[in-house]
Structure 1
Amino acid sequence: MRYVLSLLKEIVNKRKLIWDLSKADFRKRFVGSYFGVVWMFVQPVVTVLIYFFIFQVGFKSVPPVPGVPYVLWLVPGIVPWFFYSEVLNTVTGCLQEYHYLVKKVVFQVEILPVIKLISCLMVHGFFILIMLAMTLCYGQAPKITWLQIFYYSFAAAVLALGIGYFTCAVNVFFKDMAQIVSICLQFGMWLVPIMYQEEMFTDKAPWVLTVFKLNPFYYIVAGYRGSILEGNWFWERPTLTLYFWAFTAVMFLAGLKVFKKLRPHFSDVL
């Protein structure tokens, strides 16, 4: 716990440095690209269109929220997943990317994953605005529960950062970790009812819903959709909320413990 408090203190003390490095990291993604920031939207938009045509046009999927088009039900589920997966992928390789900072004795390498997280949050902010604009264009009235998007984005960020501390530390010594994370994210996307309705399985096997809820990201997806489409508050799911934060706290502390143990050897390997 003392290590967590020292990390929080370091983040507060170095907040200007973290912000400047995060902005630089965001700009660096598109250096030399002709279309620049446009590429940030291309792949996610194409992905949404593919799932839209497969599930709504092809399979004629009907979303569980009456009067809501499938694409409007899909987007609040897939937007947080794009953010979560991008954070995990970028944080996993951040120590190699900033190896010149890792080798500096005076630099606190614990803030590197935070820098990547904030950079990804900038991208996520754009997608939140697009999601809300799309919701309004489909005739949905604004809801006060939309403010919960900040809470659920924070929850997804803490979960991804906790796992990211573990994966980035291990990746220094085991380079295949980045590929393992990428494959797990591709597979894990289908373990959360993002593109399909959970009723497809729970109607025949009710126990499947419990399996879905054991995945902590189920809480994020359900929260986004509940906030945007149904006007639900997070305290209406007290058991799921407690489970999510208990799981996230354990993962965060475990990830930091591994990071702290391996940290003295980072500069030697890099």
Structure 2
Amino acid sequence: MKILIDWCHTQFSNYGKVFRIASFEKKAAHQSHFLGLFWEFLSPTIQIVIYYLIFGMRLGGRQMMESGVPYIFWMFIGVIPWFYMSASINTGVNSISSNLNLISKTKFPVEILPTMSVVRGLNGFFTMMGLFLCLYIGTGHFPDIYWVQLIYYFFAMILLMVALATLNSVISLIFRDYQLIVSSTMRLLFFVSGAVINISTHPESLMTKLFMLNPIVYIVEGFRDALLSRAWMFDHIWWSVYFFGVTLLILLAGVYMTNKYKNYFVEYS
């Protein structure tokens, strides 16, 4: 428990550094591109259009059952957090291995590197979500009390991403093939995380229950519960307990491995 408290203290005492470096790295990644940071918005937009053409029009998913919400809105609510989580996971895997020079040359708190990878994508997430909400409200879907849950699900998403980045970054440094495994797994998870396909059509089926074991599904469906005014977080309290239990275990494993191997990270360069 002490190492977890120390890890939390390191995160909070370096939060300013986390946001500054994350902002710098994001700008540096796009500085050679003509459109610059606009690609953070353009790239997911192109993908959303493609998914809508395939799943919304070609496969007949134009209208959802929930309050008559058009499929495009239903899909937007799922893919916006998915794009952010997918990017955070893929970036988080390399967050330590890609900064070994920084670790070896300076006295840098290695514990904040995975957190920086999670923070990097926040501007893109807020931009996409903000534009969607403007469109959503503009078409007559006005906010109600359920929307308060967006705050809860946002912080739950951040906690999950930080936990996964912390654990994955250490594993990938020790076992380099792990990066490829995560990348391949994310392609599969896209179709079983409820982003573009309704996986909860038959809630009593074994397959649906297996899908719901994926913590990402909890986040995706949570955003829909809030914006579609479907349910409160308390309506499936055991699912919430399961989510935070799994997230905490992932975080504890990541913090433990970071603390155990951080003095040897440079040897893996």
CA shift at 1:105, angstroms? 5.8
Counterpart residue type for residue 23 of structure 1: S
Q: Distance in 2 between matches of 1:160 and 1:133?
A: 26
Asked whether the 8 Å contact 2:21–2:116 carries over to 1, the reply is: yes
Identify the residue that residue 172 of structure 1 maps to in structure 2.
173
- Asked if residue 29 in structure 1 is aligned to residue 35 in structure 2, the reply is no
Q: Deviations over 1:68-120 (max 9, x none)?
A: 11000011111111111111111111123222221146221001111121112
Name the SS of the counterpart of 1:195 in structure 2.
Answer: coil
Identify the residue that residue 55 of structure 2 maps to in structure 1.
55
- Asked if residue 264 in structure 1 is aligned to residue 247 in structure 2, the reply is no
CA shift at 1:182, angstroms? 0.9
Q: Distance in 1 between matches of 2:53 and 2:215?
A: 28
Q: Deviations over 1:159-189 (max 9, x none)?
A: 1221222221122232222221111111111
CA shift at 1:36, angstroms? 0.7
Q: Distance in 2 between matches of 1:128 and 1:47?
A: 15
Identify the residue that residue 146 of structure 1 maps to in structure 2.
147
Asked whether the 8 Å contact 2:192–2:211 carries over to 1, the reply is: yes
Of the structure 1 ranges 85-94 and 209-218, higher mean CA displacement relative to structure 2 is found in 209-218
CA shift at 1:261, angstroms? 2.0
Q: Distance in 2 between matches of 1:69 and 1:123?
A: 24
Gaps of 5+ in 1: none
Q: How do 1:142-221 residues align onto structure 2 when only pairs under 5 Å count? A: 142-198=143-199, 202=202, 206-221=205-220
Counterpart residue type for residue 177 of structure 1: Y
Q: Distance in 1 between matches of 2:208 and 2:173?
A: 37
Asked whether the 8 Å contact 1:63–1:197 carries over to 2, the reply is: no
Q: Distance in 2 between matches of 1:64 and 1:260?
A: 48
Equivalent residue pairs, number: 268
Counterpart residue type for residue 256 of structure 1: V
Counterpart residue type for residue 167 of structure 2: F
CA shift at 1:231, angstroms? 5.2
Runs of 4+ in structure 1 off by over 3 angstroms are none
Aligned residues: CA RMSD: 1.8
Asked whether the 8 Å contact 1:95–1:112 carries over to 2, the reply is: yes
Q: Deviations over 1:132-180 (max 9, x none)?
A: 1121132211123323222212212211221222221122232222221
- Asked if residue 240 in structure 1 is aligned to residue 239 in structure 2, the reply is yes
Q: Deviations over 1:23-43 (max 9, x none)?
A: 212212211110111211222
Asked whether the 8 Å contact 2:7–2:255 carries over to 1, the reply is: no
Counterpart residue type for residue 242 of structure 1: V
Of the structure 1 ranges 68-77 and 105-114, higher mean CA displacement relative to structure 2 is found in 105-114
After TM superposition, the score normalised by the length of structure 1 is 0.92
After TM superposition, the score normalised by the length of structure 2 is 0.93
Asked whether the 8 Å contact 2:115–2:166 carries over to 1, the reply is: no
CA shift at 1:199, angstroms? 5.2
Identify the residue that residue 229 of structure 1 maps to in structure 2.
228
Q: Distance in 2 between matches of 1:175 and 1:50?
A: 32
Identity %: 24
Return closer, same or farther for 1:173/1:208 CA change in 2, 3 Å cut-off: closer
Gaps of 5+ in 2: none
